[in-house]
Amino acid sequence: MVAAEEQNEEKLTESKIPVFHNPNFKHSAIRFSKKRVWKNLKQILALEKSYIWPTDAVHYSNIEAPPSFTPAKKYSDVSGLPANYTDPLTKLRYANSSEFQYVRGLSMDIVNGLLEIRKANSIV
């Protein structure tokens, strides 16, 4: 009786070969036996110089790229957080009401210094 159960278990383990296992399977993303070699910027620039480009093409070595269509992001002069507001008196940007109170309490020397850092001071 015990021998018959052992034979049944052996048959079950032999028949449980996974259906999804294929020893000849090769992944579709792995095409070559070599690893992919990444090019550095110097190699990319040298390769781009060897191509014949149209005059209006934009590439790494072309400094005359068109301007971005996305608007420039504005950041608070005090905290560096994204700023949605500008103080009309001092022209400093701020993110929330507590920063507004802080901006209004600053002296004009500090305000001019912050505007000069942002390159937004106007010489009158």
Confidence band for 14, pLDDT divided at 50, 70 and 90: low
User: Model-level pTM greater than 0.85?
Assistant: no
Of 105, 49, 46, 47, which is closest to residue 78 (Cα–Cα)?
Answer: 105
Of 85, 67, 68, which is closest to residue 76 (Cα–Cα)?
Answer: 85
Of 115, 123, 64, which is closest to residue 92 (Cα–Cα)?
Answer: 115
pLDDT of residue 30: 61
Confidence band for 1, pLDDT divided at 50, 70 and 90: low
